[in-house]
Structure 1
Amino acid sequence: MVAHQARWLQFFQRPSLSRQLMLVGLVITGLCGAIALFAPLLVQWGLLASPQEFLTNPLHQPPGPGHWFGTSRQGYDVLARTLFGTRAAFQVVILATSLSLCIGVPLGLISGYWGGKVDRALVFLMDTVYTLPGLLLSVTLAFVVGRGVFNAAIALSISYVPQYFRVVRNHTTSVKTEPFIEAARAMGASPAHILRKYLFLNVIQSVPVLFTLNAADAILILGGLGFLGLGLPPEIPEWGYDLRLALDALPTGVWWTALFPGLAMTTLVTGLSLLGEGLSEIFNPPTQRGI
């Protein structure tokens, strides 16, 4: 614990580009999180149209005072759909990465600690899943489980389980031979107690890095599912689905229905990626720094 605190202190005291980029990523992610949290209040206060509301104004209305991001071919307010798309992205991605974490970390601990046939079977299973492209696996699972927030999270989470498994297993196999683990066994500590109290806290350090980077990747895959019509139902604002609707309007010069959802997706992915890279330098500091 003291070593981790020292790493955080050294990182933020050092005037490096990585620290600055991490702070930028933290601000971007925090602002997007605030938008996701407070978007419904904007509707209640009358500052924003409901994302499902069909407007009485002309369709394909360009950005202006009445509708800052314009309106879509379907009569939706693009600003409302874009802001509420942030809410949907956070809901699905946090749920998906949390599910994969809760599955991959325990399996990695068990596989690395027990070894033998259990380890070989789990490694074979996870390597098989890991070789499948994430988008292809998510599309296949989306066909099976259907559309919806929880179903989309399940479709996304499976492809990330092997990453948590591999990282935690590798750390566990190296830590389980340490003297303090041997001392715990000699004192009669049960395997469950050793896994929970000694191994877990020592191998969990890389998980926050994976969590943020997987979240950034999951947003892109969720956008791909939405673009294919396999993500969330149409009544739930989602950036990928809105980009799909905007595709037909682009040849007619209606650029705003694609621009703003695309910028929102790019912004959040960039913020999470910068945050993940900063966390990676804290928990896994390089021996030689080029910045």
Structure 2
Amino acid sequence: MAITKRQLPSFFRFPKNPSLSQRLMVIGIAITLFFLFLAFFAPIFQAWGWLQNPEQCPVDNPVQAAPSAKYWFGTSRLGCDIFSRTVFGVQAALQVVILATALSMVIGVPLGMVSGYLGGNLDKVLLFLMDSIYTLPGLLLSVTLAFVVGRGILNAAIAISIAYIPQYYRVVRNHTVSVKTEVFIEAAQAMGASTWTVLSRYLFFNVIQSVPVLFTLNAADAILVLGGLGFLGLGLPEQVPEWGRDLKEALGDPSLGIWWTTLFPGLALTLMVVGLSLLGEGLNEFVNPRLRRQNTIRK
């Protein structure tokens, strides 16, 4: 029997009169999927001859050629195909961003749960430590750590992730503190459930509602931080295509009328940040009943 629209769970139904935030979330999903498509199929497009090797600048390429049918985004001052470097830059950005946000989530979420549930001196120490890290500007902290750990995808992810750990910690800890006094938690404790059982079985799925939203918004911010590291020469190795470093190398080109060397890398970086930000804001409304209620009242 075919499943009708009415039978589908509410998560899969698109409302007849979507709110502005829901429309923007659809735009964010579309932009994000577009970049994921480019990252996944870039090696295939290169094998088909549609993209050049982004890590090498062919000697027969013209220098600073304007966009044309052969070079869609033009070429740089070294003769690199900007279209190829921009597309492959998606891969590098996604690898660093996913690693950075995943590392911060894997560290911050357990620390927040343990700190909020156990309390005591451990909670005070962790809270002081996380608040100290949180007060530091994220980009400044990432730049400092990048000097220490050096270049590379994993190193850049580590340098960026440290700044986001306190955010996961604070959100999860606050939820844990409010949930641990619920009746079902007290019943589990009364029945002799261990700390690990309470944390993994009863607390975890009740305190992570905001984590996907935080993950998406941090990913958008991490792209900007990675761009800043690349602009300062502290991001990825020189041969790896990176939007921030490409912008730095083309910094003086617009004053000479060579606008394409900065436009396309900068546009790609901006679109990716906008897409993830719109997706995160839409997810925030979905997981936050108060926001959904406010939008319903406005209608």
TM-score interval, normalised by the smaller of the two chains: over 0.9
Deviation at 1:6, TM superposition (A): 7.5
Tell me the SS of whatever aligns to 1:232. coil
1:29 to 2:29 alignment: no
1:54 to 2:57 alignment: yes
Distance change in 2, residues 1:109/1:7 (3 Å): farther
The equivalent residue for 2:294 is 288
Q: Give the share of equivalent positions with the same residue, in percent.
A: 63
- CA RMSD between the two structures: 1.5
The equivalent residue for 1:16 is 19
The equivalent residue for 1:195 is 199
Q: Which amino acid aligns with 2:294?
A: Q
Aligned residue-pair number: 287
Query: Would you identify which runs of 4 or more consecutive aligned residues in structure 1 move more than 3 Å?
Result: 5-14
What per-residue deviation string (whole Å, max 9, x for no partner) do you get for residues 224-263 of structure 1? 0000000001100010000001102222111101000000
Deviation at 1:11, TM superposition (A): 7.2
What per-residue deviation string (whole Å, max 9, x for no partner) do you get for residues 154-173 of structure 1? 00000000000000000000
Structure 2 gaps of 5+ residues are 1-7
Are 1:7 and 1:283, in contact at CA under 8 Å, matched by a contact in 2?
no
Q: Distance in 1 between matches of 2:65 and 2:211?
A: 45
Are 1:8 and 1:282, in contact at CA under 8 Å, matched by a contact in 2?
no
Deviation at 1:13, TM superposition (A): 5.7
Q: Distance in 2 between matches of 1:164 and 1:8?
A: 25
Any residues of structure 2 matched to 1:225-240 within 5 Å, and which? 225-240=229-244
Structure 1 gaps of 5+ residues are none
Deviation at 1:70, TM superposition (A): 0.5
1:110 to 2:114 alignment: yes
Any residues of structure 2 matched to 1:165-176 within 5 Å, and which? 165-176=169-180
The equivalent residue for 1:123 is 127
Stretch moving more, 110-119 or 14-23 = 14-23
Tell me the SS of whatever aligns to 2:208. helix
The equivalent residue for 2:250 is 246
Tell me the SS of whatever aligns to 2:90. helix
Any residues of structure 2 matched to 1:203-282 within 5 Å, and which? 203-282=207-286
Q: Distance in 2 between matches of 1:31 and 1:58?
A: 29
How does the TM-score come out when normalised to structure 1? 0.95
What per-residue deviation string (whole Å, max 9, x for no partner) do you get for residues 184-232 of structure 1? 0111110000000010000011000000000000000100000000000
